[in-house]
Structure 1
Amino acid sequence: MPAKPTEPDTIELSTEELQEITGFAAECARRVLSIFERSLPDDSRPRDAVEAAQAFADGGRRTQALRTCGWAAYKAAGEVTGEAAGGVAGDVPGRAAAADAARAASHAAAAAYLHPKASAHQVKHILGAAAHAARAEELLSGEGQGATGQTLEWARHHAPPAVTAVLGRLPAAPPGGGRVGELIRDLDTALRA
């Protein structure tokens, strides 16, 4: 019996595409920064991550500082909900939304580190900022899963060519990931259509 053809292990990914994807992710995260900043107005970590992502998108280099900003925004997400101290996200109204806004900023910085691997996991690097931003809006609205806000719709209509081109080289978004995973899959499906 002949061997099945295998999928390639890698995809083509240019620096220009990486910068365009990162700029898109930064814009998605920027749309919800105010949600985080209302909860912790003196904490600049998510804004720093978005600005670092935008600097790369504008032609800057991928540096350790960019990676550090991304991790700092991720840490801020846990701190705003009290997860670092064993708290629960729903303890304070708006804190869960603020955490997703910080995660969107973290994903924006992480988009600069998208790998040229033919893996469904890489879809999260491309669309994670948009999905977390939409989840932040959804949580803030209090209207449940149907109220994903304006960011997801904006992302559907403003994704640059590099986003759709690179998604087309990757398998579809993977299952799992809770509500944010659902939003990633919805956006992935819409952008591939």
Structure 2
Amino acid sequence: MELTLDELRSVAGFAVACARTVLPLVEEVLPDDDRPRAAIDAAAAFADGGPRTRAMRDTAWAAGRAAREAGNPVAEQAARAAMAAAGAGYLHPLADATQVRHVVGAGAHAIRARELRGEEVGVAAVADLADPVVGTVLRRYPAAPDGGERVGELVRELDAAVRAVGS
């Protein structure tokens, strides 16, 4: 399987769009913690045409630490969305269902953050953030695997919805 740099940028752009919707939720709880924002910014720089850099990986790990340290389930999920956005540009061209989470993970965590806040967010609204290229990329992979509790359910729902984009 091949993935072009433009396809990876589309995937990262979708992940950034998803994560940005919940960045304020983590910043409310952790106003002095810039790690989630830095992760989104690094992913956005790549999505906007910049190179894939070590900063994407480093900020992804840092956003993951922010999630673990958040002490608040909403902020944790929002920080995980940022982490997933920074990792999206490193989607592997392997026909492995676990790779699907790299594509839709930021969206799944964003939805979960809003659910924990008591908001209703439809999967279709998040899938609408994807351009047709993201749907084309997802259709090359097997369907998302079982497991993963509520976020895993959301990954599978988003996987199905985004696969339909542009088909």
Q: Deviations over 1:44-98 (max 9, x none)?
A: 10000001000000111111111100100000000012xxxxxxxxxxxxx1010
Letter in 1 for 2:97: A
- Alignment length (residue pairs): 164
Write out aligned runs for 1:78-157 (5 A): 78-81=68-71, 95-141=72-118, 147=120, 149=121, 152-157=123-128
Q: Deviations over 1:11-30 (max 9, x none)?
A: 22100000011011001000
Larger Rg: 1
Tell me the distance in 2 between the aligned counterparts of 1:100 and 1:153. Answer: 19
Equivalent in the alignment of 2:3 = 13
> What SS does the aligned partner of 1:158 have?
coil
Tell me the distance in 1 between the aligned counterparts of 2:129 and 2:82. Answer: 18
Equivalent in the alignment of 1:65 = 55
Correspondent of 2:22 among 32, 37, 46: 32
Tell me the distance in 2 between the aligned counterparts of 1:140 and 1:46. Answer: 18
Tell me the distance in 2 between the aligned counterparts of 1:33 and 1:191. Answer: 22
Tell me how large the CA RMSD over aligned residues is.
1.1
Tell me the distance in 2 between the aligned counterparts of 1:36 and 1:158. Answer: 21
Tell me the distance in 1 between the aligned counterparts of 2:117 and 2:93. Answer: 35
Which runs of 5 or more structure 2 residues have no equivalent in the other structure?
A: none
C-alpha contact 2:124 2:161 (8 A) present in aligned 1 = no
Cα distance, 1:157 vs structure 2: 1.8
Cα distance, 1:159 vs structure 2: 1.0
Q: What percent of counterpart residues are identical?
A: 55
Structure 1 stretch 183-192 or stretch 163-172: which is displaced more?
A: 183-192
Tell me the distance in 1 between the aligned counterparts of 2:35 and 2:91. Answer: 21
> What SS does the aligned partner of 1:122 have?
helix
TM-score (norm: length of structure 1): 0.82
Moved over 6 A (4+): none
2:125 is the counterpart of 1:166 = no
Which runs of 5 or more structure 1 residues have no equivalent in the other structure?
A: 1-10, 82-94
TM-score (norm: length of structure 2): 0.94
> What SS does the aligned partner of 2:70 have?
helix
